[in-house]
Structures are given as C-alpha cells and as structure tokens.
Amino acid sequence: MYDFDIAIIGGGPGGYVAAIEASRKGLKTALIEKKYLGGTCLNNGCIPSKSLLKSAEIADLLRNKAKKRGFTFEKLTYDYSQILENSKKNTKRLKSGLTNLLSNKDITIFDGEASFINKNEISIKNRNKVIKISSNNIIISTGSKPFFPDNLKPNNKRIVDSDYVLNSKELPSSICILGGGYIGIEFAYLYNSFGVDVTIVESTNSILGFVDNEIVNELRKNYLKNGIKILESTKINEIDEKDDSISISFSNVNDQVDLNFDLLLLSTGRIPNTDNLELKNTKVKTDNFGFIKVDNKYLTNIDNIYAIGDVIGGSMLAHKASEEGSKVIEGIINPDIIKEDFIVPACIYCQPEIAYVGLTEENLIDMKIDYKISKYPFKANGKSLADDNVNGFCKLLSDHNEKILGAHIIGKGCSEMISEITLVMQNKLQLESVVNTVHPHPTLSEIFLEASLNLKDKGRNS
C-alpha cells in the first residue's frame, strides 16, 4: 500500500495543474516543491518580466509618442526601484492566490527537494530534515534552468543572468546581451526603452532563428531603428572584467572588434532541471541533452513514472506545461484514452510584439508542402491607426483546401490575437468559419479576418 496515488515533483505550471486535476479526480495527491510554488514563470520569469516590460512600454510611449499626441513635458523622470518593486508586488499577489487555491484542494504539499530512492519511493530533504514517501504513480515536473557556456558563468558583478535583471534596482549605461532568443530579445527592448545602450550578440546567423524569417526581418528593422545593435554569426573570443566595466572581444567571418560594456547578460538557453533527482535509481531514460524521454501519454520507460513540461524538451512554455499537466492525469485515469496532439502558440513580448502558431514558411518549403500565403498590414487596420501602432503585419499560411498551416504576427497587441487562430487550427476548422464570424470594429481581430479573406480572394480592405 502506497502513501499516495500520485506524487508530483515540481510545483510549477505543469505540476500544480496536475495536482489540481488529480485531486479533482479523487486521487490521493502529493505535491513536492523545493523553492516556490508557481515555478520559474511566476517567480522569476514570465510574470515579473512582463510587468517590467509594461513599464518599458510606458517609458517608450512617453519618450517617443507623447509629443505626437499633444503631450509635452520638460524631462521624463522615473524611479526604477519603484518600477522593480511594482513587478514584485504583482508576483506576490499571484503567488498568494496560487497558495490559497492549492490549500483549498485535497493536496498534501511538501516543502523540500525530492530525489528518487526507487521507482515508487521519494526522499524529500528540507534543511536538515529528511522524510520518505511512496506513491503508485510519480510525475516529474521539475522544469528547466539557465544554460551557461563552460567558460562563462554569472558572478553578479559584470557577468549576470536573468535573475539579476529582475532584481537589480540600478540600470547600466550599456549592456551586451549574449543570445538572441526569447529572453535576450525581450530584455533588449526593456533596457533600450530606459535609455540603456544595448548590443545583442547571437552566435547563429539570425536572432530568433526558430521564428518565420519575415517576422524576424521586421523586428530587426525596428530594433536597429531604435538604436539596438545586433551582431549575428558572432562569437565571443575573450573577456576582460574590470572594476568599472567589462571588455569583450568579438569576431565573425568578416571582422573582429573589441567593445566595453557595464554588463554582460547571459541569455544562452535552458537545460532540464534534473541534476539532483537521482534518476539513476529508477533507470528513467534521458536524451543526449538530459531531457527525459516520454511517449505520447508522457510515460517514461518506467511504467509508473511520467514527465511533463520543460524537463521533456520541446517548447519551454508555461501554457504547454499546464496543458500537459491536465493531459497526463487524463491518461493515468483512463489509460485507453487516445491522446490528441494540441497546438501550442507562442508570444514574444518585445515591441512590436511577436505571436505565432504552427509551421513557418521555411518549414513548408523544407517539407515540400504546397501552400498559399496572405499578409495584412497593421497600418490598414483602424484600431492600429487610432493607437499609433502601424508597424507590423499578420501572415497566414494555408494549404489549397483552406486549412491554416501557420500564422505569424508582428505588431503591438498580437499576443491577444493568436488564440483565435489557435482555436481554428486546434479544432481543424476551415477558413470559412473565420470569414463567417462577425468581428467587432474597430479591433485588432479584424486583421486576422482580413488576412483570412485575402486567402479566399475576398479581401474587403485590400
């Protein structure tokens, strides 16, 4: 007889959703979290960073658009420490809500670091105290952590990581951001909006290499216009830390340059957080990068151990982990259920925003899939014009049977547009369902409508 029906290691978006679903189904449930409920997203990721990015957007608006609207002031001033404190208040509020939510469920929560004794037993260490529990099924939802190159580690002096950005009350005068992925691109916008001299260094041939090329080109154009410097296909050769700056030597195929900065921000990807799980005691298999291997029901090679979220790789997104948290419990309760794949949209909260779902045009070309393409600009949309947000466009890709294969948007507010497109794709609806739906005017949602009409050669405003 086991202590629990389900034990979940990790209380992030995947883990706590799995715990709630398991409890709802009447399973005796344990949730183990070594640090903070809510995981990286809530505590030092999505939520605090988006609060800071909103403040950056306000600063950008006041500096660059207020005069056009008829607002004038002698000098823009701000208290960055207060801006930072506001982001922490939002996090605290959501953490409190999550704690209250879980406390009202029939879930036993353990504070401590979990490790496997065997496939059914877990050791939980909290300071000097160790307890052991057993469970019929165990779900690993331990998330991911920042990856740092062998020769570079944050020291919170001149070399820093994203945690530093979210907690430092002082702005540097200049910063080099190593890595042009989600995090690097968002923090570049944050710092640039507050007048920091920003340089992005990307080792591959393009920032956001996983995003549709046209979208990336539009973002690159906007960033360069705003003074953000972008060095692609560029590597760091040498670093010299000084008391008051950091000197970095860069090189690419054409050039070598030495530059000085106040800070170097490492934004070089993430790796699975499995170091202390003692997976060897279970013989759970991982891939060459350490991600846990699972089947289409999130079951590992061990018959009672499951894994979800960042720890299994793929898109490292909180909403993906949450959906997997729900799906894994469905599969445990009903082993014969047929798992349907779900489509995962993604958003990048720079300005202009980026949102996308499905295949890129480059994917379709590589896969030799015949497709149709439609683009509709934000500057042709009434709401965008009213808001002075005319940069960007929506790009739709469909097959010749009017099935949407991918959607890629750049423009302010597009993170709130992508869900409608995802709904259409997830439910295998045709374009007809979009064009037959009345969209309110003036709204950004009309951009998707117009792009859909264009695919049917029925555009009303283009």
- Tell me the catalytic residues: 441
The three-state secondary structure class of 124 is strand
The CA distance from 199 to 248, in Å, is 12
Cβ neighbours of residue 120 closer than 8 Å, sequence gap 6 or more = 2, 134, 135, 136, 138, 304
The pair of structure tokens assigned to 280 is 């060897």
Residue 105: count other Cβ atoms within 10 Å of its Cβ. 15
Place of tokens 């920032």: 207
The pair of structure tokens assigned to 206 is 């393009």
The CA distance from 305 to 294, in Å, is 9
Q: Which of 319, 42, 45, 274 is nearest to 182 (CA)?
A: 45
Q: What letter represents residue 145's amino acid?
A: K
b/e per residue 55-91 (b: at least 16 CB within 10 A) = bbbebbeeeeeeeeeeeeeeeeeeeeeebbeebeebb
The CA distance from 103 to 91, in Å, is 18
The CA distance from 62 to 215, in Å, is 26
- The DSSP code sequence of 52-66 is HHHHHHHHHHHHHTT
Q: Which of 28, 357, 410, 349 is nearest to 214 (CA)?
A: 410
Full 3-state SS string of 333-376: HCCCCCCCCCCCCEEECCCCCEEEEECCHHHHHHCCCCCEEEEE
Q: Which of 400, 401, 383 is nearest to 392 (CA)?
A: 383
Q: How many helices (H) and strands (E) are present in the chain, helices listed first? A: 13, 22
